[in-house]
Amino acid sequence: MEQIEGDRCDLCFDGRLRSRQVREYYRFGKGLVVLERVPAYVCENCGERYYAAEVAKRMRQLAKMGPRAKERVSFPVIHFEPRKATA
Ligand SMILES: [Zn+2]
């Protein structure tokens, strides 16, 4: 695997990348899957995440197993509406 620990971030050009395990909210088509303990490199400054090519590929494979996942979470859905003007 490509070793990029300690490299400078390509987005903010300031932070260094640190090896972390992250929770990824992974979208595919109309679906959303929560992937836990994904190995990533995270910028210590801006939080941008980088994944090795094989990790990105594996995430796509695992996301397809979403409909058969035993573990589920539910999220509240709130539609944005602007604040009412106060007189
Ligand atoms: Zn950064």
**Host domain of residue 27:** 1-87
Question: What's the gap in Å between 50 CA and the centre of ligand 1?
Answer: 10
Task: Give the residue from 31, 39, 44 showing the smallest Cα distance to 72.
Answer: 31
Question: What's the gap in Å between 57 CA and the centre of ligand 1?
Answer: 23
For residues 72 and 41, what is the distance between their CA atoms, to the nearest angstrom?
Answer: 26
Question: What's the gap in Å between 51 CA and the centre of ligand 1?
Answer: 14
Question: pLDDT tens across 8-61, in order?
Answer: 999 999 999 999 999 999 998 888 999 999 999 999 999 999 999 999 999 999
Task: Give the residue from 16, 1, 6, 25 showing the smallest Cα distance to 48.
Answer: 16
Q: How many domains does the chain fold into?
A: 1
Question: What's the gap in Å between 16 CA and the centre of ligand 1?
Answer: 7
pTM of the model: 0.80
- Residue 12: the pLDDT is 98
Question: What's the gap in Å between 31 CA and the centre of ligand 1?
Answer: 28
CATH number for the domain including 29? 3.10.20.860
Question: What's the gap in Å between 5 CA and the centre of ligand 1?
Answer: 13
